[in-house]
């Protein structure tokens, strides 16, 4: 099959020798993102890069340097506006930041013989495999097959981890681990959004993402950092996203131990962020417990009074 794709078919001996030689030096080719034996020509700017991530990092950095010089020259508070631009660049749509569209890649350059050619797994001149894993749809190459790449037709891109371990949720618009089939709250296109912590686009991020109990998503690292800061609510919907049973019990004990002065013993109206119910409870400086679901994830919606 591979030989049929070659426009020039080298001898079996020379092809095998090239593959054996390149296999001995697995880190000679590629970049910090992927091990591969080819580079890509970006269709958006016609420049050559090792991979799409190298392209995106270079173009975003160039844009930020432009804003850096501009604001420092013309604004006394240039440093403030520079950091504002950094933040806004993360919030923008990937295409607006001059990010490469992987499916539009048409030309690649073999790193072994330096021949530019149309996208294919095997070089049409020297016959070397430019990537042990190859996706003709995503124009993607990678020698590290331990990542267990697979192409998801629903997502339209390649994923990692093994096809048998994931399923595609049509409503959420992304692949989730099998254990989550029928066991998660669906939010339409929840992955086609930005991480509420770092504002990086989640759908094609190389960082691992997690689905919270409420159905919203964020990077796993961001979720862990949020938990370290004792933030237990989803930044988007304010629902509780971690197990707070022990914390609620601690608040129960503290409220029982601390009696409010008589002048503060009025009732307040509260809204529960977890079950969306309203109720009237005794005011307490520590917190207000929902009468429906016993959650302390509540907020006052009216002043004191019966």
| Residue 107, in any domain of the structure | yes
What angle (nearest 5°) sits at the alpha carbon of residue 104, between those of residues 99 and 107?
Answer: 105
What's the pLDDT score for residue 17? 53
What confidence score (pLDDT) does residue 21 get?
Answer: 53
* Domain stop point among 145, 178, 211: 145
Instruction: Provide the pLDDT for residue 158.
Output: 94
Tally of CA atoms within 13 A in the half-sphere of 121 that contains its CB = 15
pLDDT computed for residue 232 by the predictor = 92
Predicted local confidence at residue 60, as pLDDT? 64
pLDDT at 303: 59
Task: Please state, in angstroms and rounded to a whole number, the distance separating the CA atoms of residues 266 and 283.
Answer: 6
Instruction: Answer for the pair 10, 2: CB distance below 8 angstroms, yes or no.
Output: no
Structurally, how many domains does the chain consist of?
Answer: 3
Locus of tokens 């020698």? 143
Residues 119, 28 share a domain: yes
Residues 101 and 160 in one domain: no
| Domain closes at, from 145, 177, 203 | 145
Q: What is the CATH number of the domain that holds 279?
A: 2.20.28.10
Same domain? 271 vs 186: no
Q: Provide the residue range defining the domain that includes 83.
A: 2-145
Both 41 and 12 in one domain: the answer is yes
234, part of any domain: no
Q: What is the CB neighbour count within 10 angstroms for residue 48?
A: 15
pLDDT of residue 236: 93
Is 131 found in the same domain as 161?
no
pLDDT at 139: 95
| Residue 132 shares a structural domain with residue 172 | no
Tell me what pLDDT residue 11 has.
39
Residues of the chain whose pLDDT is less than 50?
Answer: 1-13, 15, 18, 22-26, 62-96, 305-306
Residues 59 and 160 in one domain: no
- Read off the tokens for 215: 């159905």
Q: Find out whether 102 and 96 touch, Cβ atoms under 8 Å.
A: no
* 169 in the same domain as 85: no
Do 165 and 141 belong to one domain?
Answer: no
């Amino acid at each position: 099959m591979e030989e049929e794709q070659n426009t020039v078919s080298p001898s079996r001996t020379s092809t095998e020798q090239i593959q054996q030689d390149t296999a001995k030096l697995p880190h000679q080719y590629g970049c910090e993102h992927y091990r591969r034996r080819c580079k890509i020509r970006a269709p958006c700017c016609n420049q050559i890069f090792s991979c799409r991530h190298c392209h995106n990092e270079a173009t975003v950095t160039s844009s930020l340097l432009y804003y850096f010089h501009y604001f420092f020259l013309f604004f006394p508070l240039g440093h403030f506006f520079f950091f504002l631009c950094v933040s806004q660049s993360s919030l923008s749509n990937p295409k607006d930041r001059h990010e490469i569209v992987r499916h539009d890649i048409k030309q690649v350059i073999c790193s072994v013989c330096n021949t530019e050619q149309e996208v294919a797994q095997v070089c049409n001149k020297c016959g070397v495999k430019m990537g042990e894993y190859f996706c003709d749809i995503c124009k993607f190459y990678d020698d590290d097959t331990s990542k267990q790449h697979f192409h998801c037709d629903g997502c339209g891109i390649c994923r990692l981890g093994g096809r048998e371990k994931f399923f595609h949720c049509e409503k959420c618009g992304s692949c989730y681990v099998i254990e989550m089939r029928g066991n998660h709250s669906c939010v339409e296109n929840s992955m086609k959004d930005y991480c509420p912590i770092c504002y990086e686009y989640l759908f094609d991020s190389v960082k691992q993402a997690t689905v919270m109990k409420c159905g919203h998503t964020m990077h796993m690292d961001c979720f862990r950092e949020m938990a370290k800061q004792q933030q237990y609510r989803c930044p988007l919907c304010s629902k509780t996203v971690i197990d707070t049973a022990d914390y609620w019990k601690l608040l129960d004990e503290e409220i029982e131990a601390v009696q409010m002065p008589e002048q503060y013993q009025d009732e307040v109206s509260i809204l529960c962020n977890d079950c969306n119910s309203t109720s009237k409870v005794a005011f307490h400086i520590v917190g207000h417990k929902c009468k429906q679901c016993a959650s302390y994830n509540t907020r006052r919606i009216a002043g004191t009074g019966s």
